[in-house]
């Protein structure tokens, strides 16, 4: 059945079907190399607290990936995942607190959704930033939105926001005394996929390698759509961010006619990193898609489909939803179609795990 | 017009109409006393970034209250509040960052809603906990949910969660080296109103003065309903928390038949403060209201009304929504009806302002 589906998918058009496996392989090798340098394997705790079948299968997938690579993975179940006598999500917060306090634990991930957007967001903030492998702490989102790429390790322990003007970098290497900020896994995985398929141009300077690209991101949640749009704009792209009731334009280029940064960036004395500015956009989704080099869709609704007819010929399409957001004939228009990014996401999570463990060691030394 | 409305409201039933003014007066006196002891007036920054008329009038109300009491109030406008050329919410985050960094500012409040629940929640976390007079930082919610009433001032600067077992208190006074945690304004104002109208029984011991009361809270948002239900349960009440798709029971009493805390509270070695535990509740809203001594409704929908017919005779009803959630004849059943709490809320905000300024002074001394 699976192979039949793959075959019919492969013959569905002329564009290339790009499975995430090849992209994941490159990072799997990188993670393996880093693990070889570890004196003890890092320990990741996964917390499953609902009866959701997709969450359980994602937990098993994480476990397999970890064990294959030599990362210690401990699955903790609570609530409805533990017993059908217990409520959905019961005990999840206590499990997080215990993992926060357990010195043998290097990273914590929680299988969402549990209680709904608001209460889940609360839970995401209960996880210590030092163990937040998913990168969902507001601290990391703040750094992302403000294009703060390098941080001092001690900032992970402080509620004072990272200064937005202190450190500048001209390359991918951290300036002395700093480390890379943690990026949320899913948006980061999407960026890595776009790098792999050539959307990012390495001949351009670091931090501006998506310059010239127009990208539409459909979804504006705090977990996927908004951080992704900001990341891409901070890397130079012009981004249309679409959600159910509006379209916004994200750009960091002050010279565009729509930009009003002299009014919105505050007094001239206050210097920020160049980072994305958001403007309302008067265009329709159809018009945005018609000029977009890349279309990324993450709408959690099985009936939502991006009309192939609206796509620009030769664009790159990335599906991030569990039910496909693109029509079967997407490759009639798309030059490259990525049906999922999940296999890359879990490797970004393991990369974050290795980084956070290193940052934690630096904190203990100092 | 206003006096006519008041008259018709007053004659609507036999129960008492309890305006918030009298309750606010008591706290206004307390705030005045505290201000007299200040060497310089505290400075509150209000940030208005939308064209919303209710937000603007609430901003003016805050300003008047501050000026009447001798608190310095600075209204900063950005985005659509500043010019109709600018977008809703434009520049609000930059305004928060500047107020965070401005040493002359003691407290920051932002007029919501701006971007919607998710992005507004992000903004709430950008405000420094040391200046968060509204008490919307996850740190304060965490303390509330875990019934942590006293904190060390330095914990405001740290991302490490307050230990839930370190400090115990038997009275309203802070143990040495600790100060009171900050509570979110609206839930706190509601508790103060309930104390005023006699729902809390002062003959019972501190921290358990709502014991014996059954309270229904309609709304389970992270800003009002959930923290309120937890506060009331932590003070001893049995609480039904109702939202659009479920009813839950919040209680801290382990002896109730529905409680399963031996399974959900984790290993016996791990001690938490006694705090609310949440269970699914199989009853209908009508059944919950029929046994409730107090009904609090905060549904942001003009067409939502609690049916008077469902209320228990002699109950206390509190409306927290801007459009009234109770029917005109509510006082046919309610012994006491509070149509709004806004005037008390702003005083809780000023109390938080004075506290945070004091905590900040303690931090600078140490």
Tell me the three state secondary structure of residue B244.
coil
By the 8 A CB rule, do A50 and A88 touch? yes
B333 in the same domain as B197: yes
Q: Omega of the bond prior to A113 within 30 degrees of 0, cis?
A: yes
Q: Decide which of A278 and A329 is more confident.
A: A329
Question: In this structure, is residue B3 part of a structural domain?
Answer: no
B308 in the same domain as B228: yes
Kindly determine whether residue A160 and residue B278, on different chains, have CB atoms separated by under 8 Å: no
Query: How close is the nearest chain B Cα to the Cα of A4, in Å?
Result: 40
Query: How close is the nearest chain B Cα to the Cα of A283, in Å?
Result: 15
By the 8 A CB rule, do A131 and A107 touch? yes
**Long-range contacts of B84-89, Cβ-Cβ distance < 8 Å, separation of 24 or more:** B84/B51, B85/A260, B86/A260, B86/A263, B86/A264, B87/A278, B87/A279, B87/A280, B88/B49, B88/B50, B88/B51, B88/B114, B88/B115, B89/B49, B89/B50, B89/B114, B89/B115
pLDDT band (50, 70, 90) for residue A3: very low
d(CA B255, CA A113): 31
Which chain B residue lies closest to A272 (C-alpha atoms)? B94
Chain A interface test: which of B76, B81, B119, B125 (most A C-beta within 10 Å) = B125
Kindly determine whether residue B266 and residue A91, on different chains, have CB atoms separated by under 8 Å: yes
Q: What are phi and psi of B107, to 5 degrees?
A: -150, 150
B121 in the same domain as B50: yes
Instruction: Tell me which residue in A128, A138, A164 faces B125 most closely, judged by beta carbons.
Output: A138
Q: Please give the interface size between A and B, counted as residue pairs whose CB atoms are below 8 Å apart.
A: 114
In SS3 terms, chain A reads as CHHHHHHHHHCCCCCEECCHHHHHHHHHHHHHHHHHCCCCCCEEEEEECCCCHHHHHHHHHHHHHHHHHCCEEEEEECHHHCCCCCCCCCCHHHHHHHHHHCCCCCEEEECCCCCCHHHHHHHHHHCCHHHECCCCCHHHHHHHHCCCCEECHHHHHECCCCCCCCCCCCCCCCCCCCEECCCCHHHHHHHHHHHHCCCCCCCCCCCCCCCCCEEEEECCCCCCHHHHHHHHHHCCCEEEEEECCEEEEEECCCCCCCCCHHHHCCCCCCCCCCCCEEEECCCCHHHHHHHCCEEEECCCCCCCCECHHHCCCCCEEEECCCCCCECCCHHHCCCEEECCCHHHHHHHHHHHHHHHHHHHHHHHHC
Contact list, A279 vs chain B (CB under 8 Å): 87
Kindly determine whether residue A139 and residue B159, on different chains, have CB atoms separated by under 8 Å: yes
Which chain A residue lies closest to B80 (C-alpha atoms)? A264
Which chain A residue lies closest to B118 (C-alpha atoms)? A222
Residue range of the domain that includes A91? 38-133
Kindly determine whether residue B159 and residue A164, on different chains, have CB atoms separated by under 8 Å: no
Kindly determine whether residue B222 and residue A119, on different chains, have CB atoms separated by under 8 Å: yes
B125 in the same domain as B46: yes
Residues A164-205: tens digit of each pLDDT: 554 555 567 788 889 999 999 999 999 999 999 999 998 898
Question: In this structure, is residue A115 part of a structural domain?
Answer: yes
Helices (H) and strands (E) in chain B, counts: 11, 13
Query: How close is the nearest chain B Cα to the Cα of A281, in Å?
Result: 10
Question: Looking at B114, B130, B146, which one is the last position of a domain?
Answer: B130
Averaged pLDDT for residues A214-227: 95
Kindly determine whether residue B98 and residue A266, on different chains, have CB atoms separated by under 8 Å: yes
Helix (H) or strand (E) holding B56: helix B53-69
Query: How close is the nearest chain A Cα to the Cα of B131, in Å?
Result: 11
Which two three-digit tokens encode residue B319?
Answer: 């409306």
Question: Looking at A117, A133, A149, which one is the last position of a domain?
Answer: A133
Question: In this structure, is residue B69 part of a structural domain?
Answer: yes
Instruction: Tell me which residue in A119, A142, A156 faces B159 most closely, judged by beta carbons.
Output: A156
Kindly determine whether residue B278 and residue A100, on different chains, have CB atoms separated by under 8 Å: no
Whats the size of chain B, residue-wise? 366
Instruction: Tell me which residue in B122, B278, B279 faces A141 most closely, judged by beta carbons.
Output: B122
pLDDT band (50, 70, 90) for residue B274: confident
d(CA A266, CA B78): 10
Which two three-digit tokens encode residue B63?
Answer: 């300003």
pLDDT of B263 strictly over 50: no
Kindly determine whether residue A78 and residue B129, on different chains, have CB atoms separated by under 8 Å: no
Tell me the CA distances in angstroms from A231 to A23, A285, B137, one per residue in order. 19, 21, 25
Handedness of CA A91, A96, A101, A107 (dihedral sign): positive
How, if at all, do strands A246-251 and A150-151 pair? unpaired
Residues A42-90: tens digit of each pLDDT: 999 999 999 999 999 999 999 999 999 999 999 999 999 999 999 999 9
By the 8 A CB rule, do B331 and B15 touch? yes
Range name among A218-227, B275-284, B302-311, B347-356 with the lowest pLDDT average: B275-284
Question: In this structure, is residue B142 part of a structural domain?
Answer: no
B71 in the same domain as B209: no
Helix (H) or strand (E) holding B317: strand B316-319
Question: In this structure, is residue B335 part of a structural domain?
Answer: yes
Residues B10-53: tens digit of each pLDDT: 555 689 999 999 999 999 999 999 999 888 899 999 999 999 99
CA triple A343-A348-A350, angle to 5 deg = 100
By the 8 A CB rule, do A228 and A190 touch? yes
A231 in the same domain as A100: no
Question: In this structure, is residue A162 part of a structural domain?
Answer: no
Chain B interface test: which of A49, A226, A263 (most B C-beta within 10 Å) = A263
Range name among A4-13, A297-306, A345-354 with the lowest pLDDT average: A4-13
Range name among A300-309, B47-56, B276-285 with the lowest pLDDT average: B276-285
Question: In this structure, is residue B7 part of a structural domain?
Answer: no
pLDDT band (50, 70, 90) for residue B54: very high
Torsion of CA A39, A103, A360, B363, to 10 degrees: -160
Which two three-digit tokens encode residue B57?
Answer: 């009038």
A336 in the same domain as A189: yes
How, if at all, do strands B336-338 and B16-17 pair? parallel
Contact list, A100 vs chain B (CB under 8 Å): 161
A106 in the same domain as A213: no
Catalytic residue among A185, A288, A315, A317: A185
pLDDT of B338 strictly over 90: yes
Residues A276-294: tens digit of each pLDDT: 888 888 899 999 999 999 9
Query: How close is the nearest chain B Cα to the Cα of A154, in Å?
Result: 10
Question: How many structural domains comprise chain B?
Answer: 2
Question: Looking at B86, B108, B130, which one is the last position of a domain?
Answer: B130
pLDDT on residue A269: 43
Kindly determine whether residue A222 and residue B91, on different chains, have CB atoms separated by under 8 Å: no
pLDDT of B120 strictly over 50: yes
Which chain B residue lies closest to A270 (C-alpha atoms)? B98
pLDDT band (50, 70, 90) for residue A257: very low
Instruction: Tell me which residue in B122, B160, B222 faces A222 most closely, judged by beta carbons.
Output: B122
* Domain CATH number, residue B195: 3.40.50.720
* Domain CATH number, residue B46: 3.40.50.10860
Residues B313-327: tens digit of each pLDDT: 999 999 999 899 999
Chain A interface test: which of B85, B132, B161 (most A C-beta within 10 Å) = B161
Which two three-digit tokens encode residue A193?
Answer: 């996929």
A321 in the same domain as A189: yes
Average pLDDT, chain B: 89
Chain A interface test: which of B85, B86, B94, B145 (most A C-beta within 10 Å) = B94
Query: How close is the nearest chain B Cα to the Cα of A92, in Å?
Result: 9
A193 in the same domain as A336: yes
Kindly determine whether residue A125 and residue B125, on different chains, have CB atoms separated by under 8 Å: yes
Q: What are phi and psi of B48, to 5 degrees?
A: -115, 120
pLDDT on residue A275: 80
Contact list, B86 vs chain A (CB under 8 Å): 260, 263-264
Residues of B with active-site annotation? 185
Helix (H) or strand (E) holding B250: strand B247-251
Query: How close is the nearest chain A Cα to the Cα of B223, in Å?
Result: 9
ipTM over 0.90: no
B190 in the same domain as B109: no
Contact list, A159 vs chain B (CB under 8 Å): 128-130, 139, 156-159
Instruction: Tell me which residue in B122, B265, B279 faces A87 most closely, judged by beta carbons.
Output: B279
Chain B interface test: which of A47, A98, A159 (most B C-beta within 10 Å) = A159
A258 in the same domain as A122: no
Contact list, A260 vs chain B (CB under 8 Å): 85-86
Contact list, B142 vs chain A (CB under 8 Å): 125-126
Kindly determine whether residue B91 and residue A264, on different chains, have CB atoms separated by under 8 Å: yes
Query: How close is the nearest chain B Cα to the Cα of A220, in Å?
Result: 9
Helix (H) or strand (E) holding B212: none
Question: In this structure, is residue A21 part of a structural domain?
Answer: no
């Amino acid at each position: 059945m699976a192979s039949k589906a793959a075959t019919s998918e492969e013959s569905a058009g002329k564009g290339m079907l790009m499975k995430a496996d090849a992209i994941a392989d490159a990072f799997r090798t990188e993670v393996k190399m880093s693990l070889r340098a570890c004196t003890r394997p890092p320990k990741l705790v996964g917390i499953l607290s609902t009866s959701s079948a997709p969450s359980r299968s994602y937990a098993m997938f994480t476990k397999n990936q970890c064990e294959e690579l030599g990362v210690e993975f401990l699955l903790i179940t609570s609530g409805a995942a533990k017993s059908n006598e217990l409520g959905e999500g019961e005990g999840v917060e206590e499990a997080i607190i215990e993992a926060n306090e357990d010195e043998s634990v290097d990273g914590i991930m929680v299988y969402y959704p549990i209680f709904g957007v608001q209460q889940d967001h609360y839970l995401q903030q209960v996880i210590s930033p030092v163990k937040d492998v998913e990168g969902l702490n507001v601290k990391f989102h703040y750094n992302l939105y403000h294009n703060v790429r390098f941080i001092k390790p001690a900032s992970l322990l402080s509620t004072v926001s990272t200064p937005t003007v202190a450190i500048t970098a001209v390359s991918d290497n951290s300036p002395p005394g700093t480390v890379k900020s943690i990026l949320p896994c899913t948006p980061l995985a999407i960026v890595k996929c776009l790098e792999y398929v050539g959307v990012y141009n390495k001949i351009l300077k670091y931090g501006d390698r998506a310059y010239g690209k127009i990208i539409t991101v459909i979804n504006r949640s705090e977990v996927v759509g908004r951080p992704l749009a900001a990341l891409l704009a901070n890397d130079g792209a012009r981004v249309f961010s679409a959600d159910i009731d509006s379209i916004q334009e994200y750009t960091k280029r002050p010279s565009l006619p729509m930009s009003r940064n002299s009014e919105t960036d505050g007094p001239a004395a206050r210097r920020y990193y160049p980072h994305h500015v958001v403007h309302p956009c008067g265009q329709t989704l159809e018009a945005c898609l018609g000029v977009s080099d890349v279309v990324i869709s993450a709408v959690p609704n099985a009936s939502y489909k991006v009309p192939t007819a609206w796509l620009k010929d030769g664009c790159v399409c990335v599906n991030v939803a569990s039910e496909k957001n693109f029509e079967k004939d997407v490759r009639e228009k798309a030059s490259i179609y990525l049906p999922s990014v999940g296999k890359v996401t879990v490797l970004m999570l393991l990369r974050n795990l290795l980084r956070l463990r290193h940052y934690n060691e630096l904190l203990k030394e100092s």
